[in-house]
Structure 1
Amino acid sequence: MGGGIAQSLADAGIRVTLVDVSHEATIASHARLLREAAAFEKQGLFRPGAADRIEAHLVIGETIEEAVRDVDFIEEAVPEIPDLKRELLTRISRVARADAIIGTNTSTLPVHTLAPAVSGPERFLTVHFSNPAPFVPGVELVCGEKTDPAILPVVKDMIRRAGHQSAEVADTPGFVLNRLQYVLFKEACAIVEEGIATTEGVDTIVRSTFGFRLPFFGPFAIADMAGLDVYQNCFKTFEQAFGERLAAPKILKDLVAAGKLGTKSGEGFVGQLTPEQAQALVAYRNNAYGHMARLLSDLGPAPLPGASTQKD
């Protein structure tokens, strides 16, 4: 994760000092990142000149203390072990400039569980990239109770310069990304355990149906286009089968009761649409899905065990 974040920022022209668990590991990581950058550019995955930009802006630090002593922003990306993160954050904040922003790339740990390890917690927040960082654009930003809101525009601008998108979310375990991802995984496991489908079957359904839509639209936009009244009726079936945990959410029922049924009524979760805007949205959706289908056909199946490597 740390290496991918470093590549993204260095490719944006930001000077990045890389430091790993030891100097030998740092040297090895630096060499690997440069090799990867050259390979990614050759494959067309990085924009032209990326390898040279990354090499020019990614340097090696001797120690953590040296690397963080006089920089504007520090991002730690050690494993998801609370004590390890606290130890490192304490070490960083002891020597970093008082105005240096300190970010953690934690996937699930709330800011308030790590902030006590940081001297000057007003400059501390979660800046959660996803793996592989150079290719997955979304970044979660999570502030703690003591985080100074003034640092957010600075971090957002850095993320934007690196070609990423960010969203602020509340300080709760798992944030948004992994709360949703792990709930999906848990339900997928239950489906397999109940004998409803195999693991391969679940993966096929997820990636080729609702997962197919997700690069373009989130769950609220998808629900709006399907019709919120349709969703509410489907929830009745789920509630009868699975009980309260899959009953229709209150925010959904409130919208339907108000006649806000999504795209077809001109208003739903994502706001109001004129008939012309609704028509443009549907046209974009159809175009996007068509392009996605062609892209997947061109790429062929993923090289997973048992998958065909032949294109149709």
Structure 2
Amino acid sequence: MTTKDTISTTAVVGSGYMGGGIAQVLALHGYKVALGDVDGETAERARVRLVEQARDFEGSGLLPEGAAETIEGNLVAAASIEEAVEGADYIAEAVPEQPDLKASILRRVSGAAPCHAIIGTNTSAIPIGELASSVTGPERFLGVHWMNPAPFIPGVELIPGEETDPRVLERAEQLIQSLGKTPARVADTPGFVANRLQFALYKEAVQIVDDGVATPEQIDAVVANTFGFRLALFGPFAIGDMAGLDVYESAYHTLEKAYGERFAVPEALAATVREGNIGLKSGHGFLHVAPEHKAALLSHRDNAYARLAQLRTELGQAPGL
């Protein structure tokens, strides 16, 4: 397909909580954004809400000085979905997570958009290949999964479908980077990476409640103040390598005895330990840290944890929790 060298004009279809946040980020970084929704009145109400919200964010120091003015200058409400996308170089579809609804909207979007326009769906779990069948020109289509709240969470998953043009993936990645976000390319499987992990944790948390081990409040306290605290700064493989994969393997054996096959030692972990690669202690685990970086990494970890603890103390307890 033919793609433009630069993206300047964008559209966001679906101006609710997620779509609105995406629109704010695009507008703040200098992109013209047309909001499309069920009708022009709904889009205009969203535009007003997003500008007012940006003023509140700016007043609270969450957005830089002048952010609201920039967002207001780059954000317009379109009379229809078709009008919103007709001149766009990039389109973010962010309607509710209902396959039939997304398919219907994507048919309208791809039918009205310029042939060069890149179309990104903000789906949390629906396979891109499933949605691509509703898109005219599926080579320009991919998943662009933002996290909630979009203005403040740095990570964005990029999910190409089987027909996605590699140049489209590259251009989408460049766009996300230009917004100050951190893109991660992942494969097209249900739930992708973030929600597959998140929902696995949630299921086990509910099981712990059902087993009578702890209450929801107690579980939240444990997670937020132990391994969840670490996850704010490092991913699971970095944490595992720093802890020691031999320790992990031993813990899995104990858990499997108590809870069965679902806690069996993952074969990839067992193989890594058999090879003597137990993490930072040996210099290599699932990740590789050069020996000359070990001391600096541990120092950075300790400093980061201490700073995060200080920030949490400054912020205080979340209201109502």
| TM-score under structure 2 length normalisation | 0.93
Q: Does 1:7 align with 2:24?
A: yes
Over the residues paired in the alignment, what is the CA RMSD in angstroms? Answer: 0.9
- Give the one of 93, 112, 122 matched to 2:110: 93
Take 1:121 and 1:241, find their aligned partners in 2: how far apart are those partners? 47
1:1-312 pair list within 5 angstroms: 1-274=18-291, 276-304=292-320, 307=321
* Residue aligned with 1:267, SS: coil
Q: For residues 40-62 of structure 1, give each alpha carbon's deviation from its aligned partner in whole angstroms, at most 9, with x where no partner exists.
A: 11111112221111111111212
Q: How many residues align?
A: 304
Structure 2 gaps of 5+ residues are 1-17
Percent identity, aligned pairs only? 53
Q: CA deviation at 1:273?
A: 2.0
Q: Cα deviations across residues 218-270 of structure 1 (Å, max 9, x unaligned)?
A: 00000000001111111110111112211111111111111111111111112
Contiguous gaps of at least 5 residues in structure 1: 308-312
Give, in angstroms, the shift of residue 27 of structure 1.
1.0
Distance in 1, matches of 2:27 and 2:131, equals: 27
How far residue 272 of structure 1 moved from its aligned partner, in angstroms, is: 3.2
Structure 1 SS opposite 2:167: helix
In 1, distance between residues paired with 2:157 and 2:34? 22
- Give the partner amino acid of 2:319: P
**1:232/1:252 contact within 8 Å kept:** yes
Query: 1:193 Cα shift?
Result: 0.6
Q: Which deviations, in whole Å up to 9, do the C-alpha atoms of 1:169-207 show, x marking residues without a partner?
A: 111111111111111111000000100000100000011
Runs of at least 4 residues off by over 6 Å:
none
Q: Name the CA distance, whole Å, in 2 between partners of 1:234 and 1:273.
A: 27
Q: Measure the CA separation in 1 of the matches of 2:92 and 2:56.
A: 25
Q: Normalised by the size of structure 1, how large is the TM-score?
A: 0.96
2:92 is paired with a residue whose SS is strand
